[in-house]
Chains A and B, each alone.
Chain A
């Protein structure tokens, strides 16, 4: 499998603290990967680097077939290249309707003038309805998204992510604050998405990771500690020491 994203030898320090230390990571174009690790292991910083929010001090981030370097591109440009990100806290545009949120996320031209002259097209609306069905919000399309429950907001954000049609999804703790039934639904959405694209899930909850049934990368102190199946990494002595044993 060719890799879609290749991060190699990346380091970044904040005020002398090495948040990421010579980290290397790669993922194929249709693969699911879970990243686990204790607090401060650098999971969020890793996502910040890939999405362009944080510039690393050294290292390379190479993207796609054309081996494009993502370093030095703006966040918006990286997003247009096909990297989608879901934040830990659900961030949807609360004073706008579910439909407006999804329409805004829908893959389309992003320039101000093409957006200014944009007219809602039937096929776009159809796609929005389809997405709403997928995330279980079909009957909530006209609702202001601020009124949704926590779990529904999480889904809406996942829906917006899917609407972007990214080639790589970075998902930060998607199951936080969800009921067991909601978790299962979330798992299904993610597993389905990983059939056609790369999905990276950062998660604390081992049970959730187990259900994803994918390769796991354990981060510790800004570097990869172990990589492999969940059973493989949970049997690893070092992993038990730094993470699971506590």
Chain B
């Protein structure tokens, strides 16, 4: 255990150092603070990638460590985004409305301002009143609390119902898919108060920071995301490295045995499911202000499946694996689908990556599952075994890995 513990610590230290180096590099090269080699939109892409890595960590905790294949964790991510989006949109609209009404001959009443804001936000879905769920939208603190509470409560209720009835395995996966599908269908409706399929937009405009250029805001969010990822990683390491982690892995490998040891397995699953949902919510709350828009399509079942694919490709059951998987796959994916990858003319047919990328991703998922069940993270084991295992800090293995890791997030 001692060695394993050191090993875990070592990978944590390496991870944090790399994350710091990466953050610093991006900062220095950014438009907002540095020499401008990296465009603002790419800084945003990188910042978003860090958020995806954070939600991948929460997926890895649930699936890789406790064996609960949740295919609904992206729903919690989306909910976190919606919660912070409500405040951003409300406050920003209020600012604009207040400025334009300030020129009016008669100073507007609070009610008039509120009506005007509602009209601005909900006009698109044919309404001009604030629905009940926007009750706290004027308070940043309340909405930030909801970022954690809403996913947490949903996961808590869902998990309580599912785990108590001992739903497990593929049935649980299907249930979680149903949950995220139901949620996204609900959000698609116009009369639910969250603007239906329009979603919430203009989230990149941070209230009170109208004079700050996006180049700078993007760097701030990038820092925020990097900090959250680092903190989330440490939290996850703490959770899985002690006895709690032992119990989780026990549940993954032989649930019945853990029960006969006297551990209330269902309660453990519930705590973990709820906790990781909160973590996913935080990741989402940092992601969508960088993306600028959130709509119900973000919560589609496929998003949660992607999440599982990232973790599988990166290597489940190890935290850095989740980060590598999310970083690598989502960046490569945006390269292919963003039209940057050159088409391959075959004479009789031209391969357009925008169409074919999903096939490539699907194939690589199948390949990884069949031939490298440990994912990319498993490569570090190979390296570690080839090189003498007891060289502590001076070990080459993780350094090599480090390079890969950087590739993954740059």
Contacts and interface: CB of A to CB of B under 8 A. Distances in A.
Interface of A: 51, 53, 74-77, 79-80, 84-85, 87, 91, 93-97, 99-100, 103-105, 110-113, 115-116, 118-120, 141-142, 160, 164
B334 interface: no
A103 B246 contact: yes
Sorting the interface of chain B by its residue count into under 10, 10 to 19, 20 to 34 or 35 or more gives 20 to 34
Contacts of B250: 93, 96, 104
Given A97-B4, A115-B243, A142-B2, A76 B249 contact: no
Nearest to A51: B260
B258 to A, nearest CB: 8
A112 B267 contact: yes
A112 B244 contact: yes
Interface of B: 1-4, 239, 242-244, 246-247, 249-250, 253-254, 256-257, 259-265, 267-268, 271
A105 B246 contact: no
Contacts of B249: 93, 95-96
A84 B259 CA distance: 11
Contacts of B268: 112
Given A96-B249, A104-B246, A116-B242, A76 B265 contact: yes
Dominant secondary structure of chain A at its interface with chain B? mixed
22 contacts: A53-B256, A74-B264, A75-B256, A75-B260, A76-B262, A76-B263, A79-B259, A91-B254, A91-B257, A93-B250, A95-B249, A96-B246, A99-B1, A100-B1, A103-B246, A104-B247, A104-B261, A115-B242, A116-B242, A116-B244, A118-B244, A120-B243
B22 to A, nearest CB: 30
Dominant secondary structure of chain B at its interface with chain A? helix
Contact of B253 (A53, A84, A94, A116): A94
A91 B260 CA distance: 11
B262 A116 contact: no
Contacts of A93: 246, 249-250, 253-254, 257
A109 B279 CA distance: 26
B246 A100 contact: yes
Contacts of B261: 79, 104-105, 110, 160, 164
A112 B267 CA distance: 7
Nearest to A80: B262
B260 A115 contact: no
Contacts of A53: 256
Closest 9 interchain pairs by CB? A79-B262, A80-B262, A75-B259, A112-B271, A116-B244, A76-B264, A118-B243, A97-B1, A91-B257
Given A80-B262, A93-B254, A120-B242, 10 more contacts: A53-B256, A77-B262, A93-B257, A104-B243, A104-B246, A111-B264, A115-B242, A116-B242, A116-B244, A142-B1
